[in-house]
Structure 1
């Protein structure tokens, strides 16, 4: 019996010894996958920001030469009549043309007398009122008086004058011939875009009303237009019947 137990013990010891010296079983790791390099796109070049060009401004008082396009005289025209002129030369703001030559303009006869008895000359007074640029009126100023025939003093293309009642011409009939040059002045500051276009914010009606409010005859006409329709015509006639300036 002792022999059998010893055999069992020896066998168990041998098995334990073999187990202890057997190499440990290891798990082999798979090699890491190679990481493919993704090229980074370079940022697109940023275009330089162009400097914003400032608006162009023609200041009030800027001189503008106008030429009469149709003859006006005290025999065929009356106070209140409008006659046409044209801009004679390009008007620039800096190097940009903002009012091109040929732009139409207007003037109004504010007072007039026909040929009088005993050799008295006819007389006219008129005011330059506006330049019409692409359908919008821009106010201008310039007041003139003319007496008698226009060729007694004027030479060449005409007389350029500026100021209140400038340009007196003597004779029997007040006559303003076509081609006569007259100097206007811009009535207010006017803004244009950098490419020379009249600013979209320009309010023609407000500008012309503001110009009228600066003259006595303009104030008279504004008051007349505010009257009832039946009284307007007579009130306007009274505005032109006496010298307002």
Structure 2
């Protein structure tokens, strides 16, 4: 299987061969038993390295809540700040990322608040999925005070007062970190 970097280098080399003039033939005197020197190959375009633990800033696109989501639900995020390596934007603002709900505890009677935990999975950069780590936990507000007032006003029926649902709000900011060093292809020169 050919890597993205090898394919990009091969395309660049093929394009450069069409544009550059053929070298002038030269004569080299070679003694018997010597091997003729090979022409120097063009240097391959080195990839960019996105280092482990590089922070990436995200914004949650749609609200995730214990009222409507279960464990295993995947939710979308967008990159909130560009990631730049050597002056090259490798992950632009607006790139898509994904998270997953790990646990959900629904709100309950007697003012029990809901809670949820979620983790970040990966960010998309071109055709690559770059694994990221990071987590978020949310807890709804407890309804203990409301339950106590409900019991005073309604008697035992006040025990059915529910706590609030937990939610990760749309627009909430999160930070994730690159899980491992990742090679990213460097953009080819314009016109090639």
Common fold: TM-score over 0.5: yes
1:50 offset after TM fit, Å? Answer: 7.7
Question: What residue in structure 2 maps to residue 229 of structure 1?
Answer: none
Question: What residue in structure 2 maps to residue 75 of structure 1?
Answer: 67
1:54 offset after TM fit, Å? Answer: 2.8
Task: Tell whether 2:51 aligns with 1:56.
Answer: no
Question: What residue in structure 1 maps to residue 164 of structure 2?
Answer: 172
CA distance in 2, matches of 1:133, 1:85: 13
1:130 offset after TM fit, Å? Answer: 0.7
> How many aligned residue pairs are there?
132
Name the Cα RMSD after superposition: 2.5
CA distance in 2, matches of 1:72, 1:57: 33
**Could you list the runs of 4 or more consecutive aligned residues of structure 1 that deviate by over 3 angstroms after TM superposition?**
49-53
CA distance in 1, matches of 2:130, 2:48: 15
1:94 offset after TM fit, Å? Answer: 1.5
1:52 offset after TM fit, Å? Answer: 5.2
Task: Tell whether 2:111 aligns with 1:111.
Answer: no
TM-score of the pair, normalised by structure 2: 0.62
| Secondary structure of the corresponding residue to residue 194 of structure 1 | coil
In the TM superposition, 1:139-154 aligns within 5 A as 139-148=131-140
Stretches of structure 1 lacking an aligned partner (at least 5 in a row):
1-42, 150-170, 197-245
Larger CA Rg, structure 1 vs 2: 1
Task: Tell whether 2:182 aligns with 1:190.
Answer: yes
| Secondary structure of the corresponding residue to residue 102 of structure 2 | strand
TM-score of the pair, normalised by structure 1: 0.49
1:194 offset after TM fit, Å? Answer: 2.7
Per-residue CA shift, 1:183-209, capped at 9, x if unaligned?
00011111122328xxxxxxxxxxxxx
Per-residue CA shift, 1:32-88, capped at 9, x if unaligned?
xxxxxxxxxxx96xxxx9865532101111000010000111101011100100011
Question: What residue in structure 2 maps to residue 136 of structure 1?
Answer: 128
Q: 1:122 is matched with which residue: 114, 117, 135?
A: 114
**Structure with bigger RCO (C-alpha 8 Å, 6+ apart):** 2
Task: Tell whether 2:89 aligns with 1:94.
Answer: no
Per-residue CA shift, 1:164-219, capped at 9, x if unaligned?
xxxxxxx72101111100000011111122328xxxxxxxxxxxxxxxxxxxxxxx
